[in-house]
Structure 1
Amino acid sequence: MTWLLVAGQADAQVITLRQDACYAIAPAGHRATAAAISALPYDCRAEPPYARYRNAWVWLKVQDPSRLAALPANWKLLVDQARFARLSVIVVNTDGSVQQRTLAPRAMGDNWALGGSQRFTVHRPGAQVKAVYVGFLKLDGLSLMRKLSAIGPHNARRLDNLWMGLMGVFGGAILSAFAYNLLIYTGQRLVYQRWYLLWSVLALAYGFTWTNVTAFFIPGFTGPLAVRTDILLVSGLIAAGNMFFLSVIEDGVLPRWLKRTGTAFAAFNIAAGLAAWQGGLASPVTLDRVLNVAFVCSASCGIVGVTLAIRARSRVVWFYLAGWTPVLAVFALRVLRNFGLALQADAIDMATFATLAFESVALSLAIADRFRLLGRERDLAEQARRAIAIESESHRRAAHTDYLTGLGNRAAFNKTLTAMCRAPAGEPFVLMLVDVDHLKDINDRLGHDGGDKLLEKVGKGLLQAGGVHAHVSRIGGDEFALVIAAGEHEQARVRDALEALQGTTLSHAGRSWAVSFSIGCARFPADADTPEVLFTNADLALYQAKEQGRCRLRHYKPPLRARLDSTLTFSREADEGIARAEFSLHFQPIVDLQTGLTDSCEALLRWQHPTRGQITPAVFGDMLSECKAGLGVQHHALDMALQALRDHPGALPRLSVNLTSAQLDGPHAAARLLGRLREMDITPSRLCIEVTENVVLDRTLDRTAEALALLHGAGIGVALDDFGTGYASLIHLKHLTFDSLKIDRSFTLGLFEDDGQSEEIIRAIIGLGHGLRKTVVAEGVETHLQRNRLTEMGCRLGQGYLFARPVAVLDLAGPIYTPIAA
Structure 2
Amino acid sequence: MRKKLGGGTGGPRALMRLGMKLGWLVLLWLSAVPLSAQGQSIDLRTRLCGTILADAAAPMTVRRATYRCGTAAPTAAAQGWLWLRLDATRLQGLQPGWRVAFDQTRFRKVALLVDTVEGSRRTVLDHQALDGHWAPGGRLFFTINQPGTAVRGLYLGFAGIDDLSLIRRLDAQPADGPGSTDAPWLWIMGLFTGTVLSALCYNLVIGPVRQRVQRQWTYRRWYVLWASLSLIYGLIWSNVAGFLAPGLVGPMAVRVDYVLVGLLIAVGNGFFFALVDEERLPAWMPRGGRLLGYAGIVAGLVASIGAPVPPVPSDRALNVLAGIATLWVGLAGMVAVWRGSRAARFYLLGWGPVIAMLLARLGRNLGLVPSSDSIDMATFSAFAFEALVLSLAIADRFERLRHERDQARTARDVERAEARAIRLSAQTDFLTGLGNRQRFQHDVTRLIASSHGFTLYLVDMDYLKQVNDRLGHAGGDALLRQVGRMLADVAEEQGGFAARIGGDEFALLLRDDMMTGPALDQVQGGTWHFAEERGVISLSIGSARFPEDADTPDLLYQNADLALYKAKRLGRGRHQSYHPLLRVDRRAQAALANDAEAALQNGEFRLFLQPIVDLASRRVEGHEALLRWQHPIYGLMAPSQFETVLTNSTVAPRIQAWVLESALAHLRDANGSIGRLGVNFTSLQLAEPGAARRVLDRLAHHGVAPGLLCVEVTESVMLDRGAEAVVQTLHELSAAGIKLALDDFGTGFASLIHLRRLPIDTIKIDRSFTAGVVEDDQGAAAIIHAIVSLGDDLGKAVVAEGVETEAQAVALRALGCRLGQGYLYGMPRAAAAA
Same structural fold, with TM-score higher than 0.5 when normalized by the shorter chain: no
With the length of structure 2 as denominator, give the TM-score of the two structures: 0.43
With the length of structure 1 as denominator, give the TM-score of the two structures: 0.44
Higher relative contact order (CA 8 A, sep 6+): 2
Bigger Cα Rg: 2
